[in-house]
Amino acid sequence: MKKKFLSVMLAAAMVASLAACGGGDSDGSSESSQNSEESSGDNSGANEGETDDNSTAEVTPEAIPEAFAHITFDEGAGEGYTVVERAENEPGDLDGATHGIVDSTATVSYADGPVGQAVYLDGVHALNLHLEPTNTDTYTVSYWMNADRVATYAPTLTMGYSMGKADNSGNNVTWFNVTQTEWGTDSAKIFPVVWSRNEASDAQDGTDCWPWMYAFDDERHGIREWAMVTIVCSGEAQTGAAGTTTAGAQYYINGNLVYDSADNYTNHTYWEEWTWDASLAPNIMKPGDAQFESWFGINYWDTIYKGFVDDLYVFDSALTPGQVLSLYQMGDPNVSSVAPEGTPEEEEPQNPVVTITGTQLGAEDFTSGWWTTFSDGWEVPSGETVSKTFVNWHGAEASNWNNFVIVLQSEAVSPLEKSEDCVEYAVLRADNWGWKMDGDTQLTTGDNLDTLGWTVESDWNWDTFGADLQGATVTVSVTNNGDTADVECQITTASGATHFQNYKGIAINDGALGFCLTVDSSMLDIQD
């Protein structure tokens, strides 16, 4: 089981589940009140100084301070970065990781970049940057990138402490990962997103800090075009209603300010109500109790980056808009960068062509977002078992959780049609993650299995999980034991292999039990 998948729930899906059962705030992926302009790819927009739709104040270039670190990625510059690759074996003592990272004997290729030369990464190899932390909570990180391939949660720049460790107390996990997510409006893919983590900055009520920020335009930047990403940590404390404290931050694409958490914290410019989700975790650059790590193109879980990187800066101060503009004007985003000869072009993955033979649940293009569409509800009388069979489909770029989801409630209806007295017993995702409600607290099988008291069983091969579920036939059997419910899933892959996935001992109230199915950017062909 990939433990890091819980983060999606914290950022979007769990919030939606809370709202559906009578509590919780607005989903972080809801449409913002402001969309930022997409840069045209040249310097003209930056020179005009336009920061967003509501602000056109002119920005004047300013002198850039001395850099804390600067990697030009020019061939022969001897800048200390080394080539790494994914380990074939298990990650060892990295108890929060799926894969290890090891040194590689491979070499990287160079090409023309916006500033001098750029490094090309082939989708197999990545870089250990060997950067040092600034030891401050005011800093700036900036770099150019031009991606041939990105995937959901796959990294470009990642840095922090204890990144491969489980996110529990004592490990002091802190990092940021500049990545792609599906947290835009209606589950739109957005890139690049600055997603950060600080386990040590838990809220007073125990809520973890997983903030994220992006351009609020539901677009992807830097895909087969050069884009400069600049993250400024201005560092001021921003404390939300639950007690979680994050660090103030500003985010720039191509020299344009596209998000300012301080502005949103004070004026609600981007969201109607401020939330700690849209900010930056504190202490990422401060000393931790483990070695500071800095990678480009790789992390301990996700698809390796393929594409170019150029001219990376770290400053131990928060750059001003004028200084960020000056950085951008030093580069040429229109340069033609050519991948090494023999490198295959990365084509956009194609969704499967699906023929529906039963009842369709979810959009044909797999755009049905989390908690938006549900099957009929099926009642399970006490002492009986009710089974439903369906074929599971997902998009070409799906993550493991973009598959079927089972919802257990005290009523046999869609969560959108339930009464105020309806009790949500459990939500069970295809990737073998489940949770239940305990008051206002979400309890998960990953972190609180003993508390839940469930028996959780499965025999998935997590390396092939996504491919195994594409077109797989799934039979879900729900048994009502009076005071508990059992859920057993029998899965037959398109190639004929079989798997099982079971949850047993889920507490229910007085024999009242119903269930339904939902999807998360996926589609089900329900057979009966």
Which has the closest alpha carbon to 324: 387, 207, 234, 223? Answer: 234
Average pLDDT, the chain: 83
Range with the poorest average pLDDT among 3-12, 235-244, 255-264, 501-510: 3-12
Residue that terminates a domain, selected from 312, 329, 346: 329
Structural domain total, the chain: 2
DSSP code at position 382: T
Cα–Cα distance, 333 to 112 (Å, whole number): 11
Same domain (yes/no): 320, 413? no
Residue 459, domain member (yes or no): yes
Evaluate the omega torsion of the peptide bond into residue 192 and state whether it is cis, within 30 degrees of 0.
Answer: yes
364/315 same-domain check: no
Question: Is 512 in contact with 411 (CB distance < 8 Å)?
Answer: yes
Total Cβ atoms within 10 A of residue 94:
18
C-alpha angle 423-368-507 in degrees, rounded to nearest 5? 20
Per-residue pLDDT of 19-73, as tens digits, reads: 323 222 223 222 222 222 222 233 333 333 333 443 446 889 999 999 999 999 9
CATH number for the domain spanning 79: value is 2.60.120.200
Please indicate, yes or no, if residue 276 is contained in any of the structural domains: yes
Residue 113 pLDDT > 90, yes or no? yes
Same domain, 312 and 398: no
The 10s digit of each residue's pLDDT in 123-146 is 999 999 999 999 988 999 999 999
Per-residue pLDDT at 373: 95
Q: DSSP string spanning 213-268?
A: E--SSS-B-SBSS-EEEEEEEEEEEEE-TTS-EEEEEEEEETTEEEEEHHHHHHH-
d(CA 199, CA 7): 12
What domain range includes position 487?
359-526
Q: What SS3 string covers 9-38?
A: HHHHHHHHHHHHCCCCCCCCCCCCCCCCCC
Whether residue 20 is contained in a domain is answered as no
Which 3 state secondary structure label does DSSP give 391? strand
One domain, residues 377 and 275: no
The CA distance from 139 to 232, in Å, is 6
- Kindly state whether residue 5 falls inside one of the protein's structural domains: no
Q: Say if residue 243 is in the same domain as residue 298.
A: yes
- Evaluate whether residue 413 is within a structural domain: yes
Residues facing residue 256 across a β-bridge: 253
Pick from 197, 199, 305, 327: which is nearest to 257 by CA?
A: 327
The verdict on 315 and 403 lying in the same domain is no
Q: Which tokens is 413 given?
A: 């209806």
Domain boundary among 287, 313, 329: 329
- Where among 314, 329, 344 does a domain terminate? 329
Q: What is the mean pLDDT of residues 202-221?
A: 76
Euclidean distance between CA atoms 161 and 290, whole angstroms: 6
* pLDDT above 60: residue 292: yes
State the DSSP string of 276-337: TTSSB-TTTTS--SS-EEEEES--SSSPPPEEEEEEEEEESS---HHHHHHHHHTS-TT---
**Domain shared by 234 and 369, yes or no:** no
Residue 445 Rama label (left phi>0; alpha psi -120 to 50; beta): alpha
Whether residue 345 is contained in a domain is answered as no
Of the spans 49-58, 205-214, 263-272, 490-499, which averages the highest pLDDT? 490-499
pTM: 0.72
In a domain, 295, yes or no: yes
Beta strands in 115-211 (DSSP E): 117-122, 125-128, 139-149, 155-161, 174-181, 190-198
pLDDT number for residue 273: 58
Residue 336 lies in a domain: no
300-345 pLDDT per residue, tens: 988 899 999 999 999 999 999 999 999 999 999 999 999 888 777 7
Q: Are both 303 and 405 inside the same structural domain?
A: no
Residues paired with residue 427 on neighbouring β-strands, in sequence order:
407, 435
Angle at 307 between CA 78 and CA 2, to 5 degrees: 105
Q: Are residues 242 and 374 in the same domain?
A: no
- How many C-beta neighbours within 10 Å does residue 109 have? 16
Query: Is a pLDDT exceeding 50 seen at residue 11?
Result: no
Q: How far apart are the first and last CA of the chain?
A: 30
Mark whether 308 and 438 lie in a shared domain.
no
Say if CB 494 and CB 472 are below 8 A apart: yes
Q: How far apart are CA 180 and CA 306, in angstroms?
A: 13
Residues 368 and 325 occupy one common structural domain: no
Does residue 193 share a domain with residue 273?
Answer: yes
